[in-house]
Structures are given as structure tokens and as C-alpha cells.
Amino acid sequence: MRIFIDTAEVADLKVLAATGLVDGVTTNPSLIAKSGRKIAEAIEEICALIPGPISAEAVASDYDTLLAEGRFLAKIAPNVVVKLPLTPIGLRVCKALSDEGTPVNVTLCFSAVQALLAAKAGATYISPFIGRLDDNGQDGMELIRDIRVIYDNYGFETQILAASARTAIHVRDAALAGADCATLPPAVFNALYKHVLTDLGLEAFMKDWEKTGQSIL
């Protein structure tokens, strides 16, 4: 499963990119607003830092402007993925951009039939929001599993990008459910390393090594 980072903070991405484990980045209007950056400037810098797919979201509410925004974002860098909402207009723009060869990430997916429509519109990625479903008393992982079955049934190439992951358990369960990718805030990415037995084991090893009085170098 590929791992994307959900942030527009370049400083955080520089640290995480150094791990060699980051496959891409997702952003949204809220993250851009939080960063205080101009969207084109931020996306260009992120695209130069991370060679994988970088999702940049168009925000207009009418077809012509949303399509124009998508085309503008796609020209920023070759690894931009235009992010669009799962609405009738959003899917129309998705179809237009996909037909032009522009990759699209359809976001704010909360049902399997929405995911079906996005795949039919040519979406490169579908972003089901598992954490928000859990917050609403539903099972986010059930949605991932349902989409996986539907896409496999019909040979859709749209990739399932598990979004709104809140914990390392979400990441594990998304991988088990067959998600192609997951997008994580930096704190959740860093939590993937953590286990109390790893920490305790390392502590014991280091204490025993110190007793030997040796140096490897």
C-alpha cells in the first residue's frame, strides 16, 4: 500500500521525505489555508520535493470555472493530481480532465455507489473518508471493502485512497481491506513506527551492549 502525507506544510514534508517512505501528498483547501501559502506556490514547492502524485484541489461551484481551475492546477507540475468533489459537476469535470489525460482524485466519498460513479467518470483515485464515517457511527472499513469488491468485479482501474485516517489501526485495517493507498497526517505517519515492545526491546539491547564495552567502529 502506498503512503501519502496529508499536509501542505513544506517543513514537515522535508522531514518525512527523508525517510524514503512517502509516495505522494494530498492537500485540500483547509490545509492550504492553515499553511498561509498561495496555493500555486505551495503546490509547486511540494511537487519539487516529492516526486510522486500531489493532489491539489479545485474549489469552484460551476462547471466552467471548476474545469478551468483543474486545468490551471494541472499545469503547475507534471505530478499534480487534480482533486475534485464528488458532486454532479465535480464528476463532469473529472470526466473532461480524465479524457484529456489529467489524473483526478475524487474526494469526499462516503458511499460505495458514489465510488462507482467516480470510477465511471474516469477518476484515477477515489478518496473514501474512513475517519469521518467512524465519527458518524458508521464503519469506514466496510466502505473500503465494498469499493474493493465493486472495482474488482468490473475491472475499474481507479485506485482506492483511504482518507481521513486517524490512527495506525486505521492504516492497518485499510491495508487489510485492500486499499491501494492511504493518506495520513504527519502525526499518524510517525505513529506507524511505534510499539511499546519495540521501545522496551531496544532499551534492553542498548543496556546489554554498553556492558560489553565494545565499539562497532
Q: What pLDDT does residue 93 have?
A: 98
Q: Which residues of 21-40 are buried (b: 16+ CB within 10 A; e: fewer)?
A: ebbbbbbbeebbeebebebe
Q: What pLDDT does residue 105 have?
A: 98
3 state SS of 54: strand
83 is catalytic: yes
| pLDDT values of the chain reduced to their tens digit, one per residue, 217 residues | 999 999 999 999 999 999 999 999 999 999 999 999 999 999 999 999 999 999 999 999 999 999 999 999 999 999 999 999 999 999 999 999 999 999 999 999 999 999 999 999 999 999 999 999 999 999 999 999 999 999 999 999 999 999 999 999 999 999 999 999 999 999 999 999 999 999 999 999 999 999 999 999 9
Q: What pLDDT does residue 22 have?
A: 98
- The amino acid that residue 89 corresponds to is I
Task: Determine phi and psi for 171, rounding to 5 degrees.
Answer: -65, -45
Residue of 83, 120, 194, 211 marked catalytic = 83
Q: Where are the beta strands (DSSP E) in 27-158?
A: 54-57, 80-85, 104-109, 125-128
Q: What pLDDT does residue 51 have?
A: 95
Q: How far apart are CA 149 and CA 162, in angstroms?
A: 15
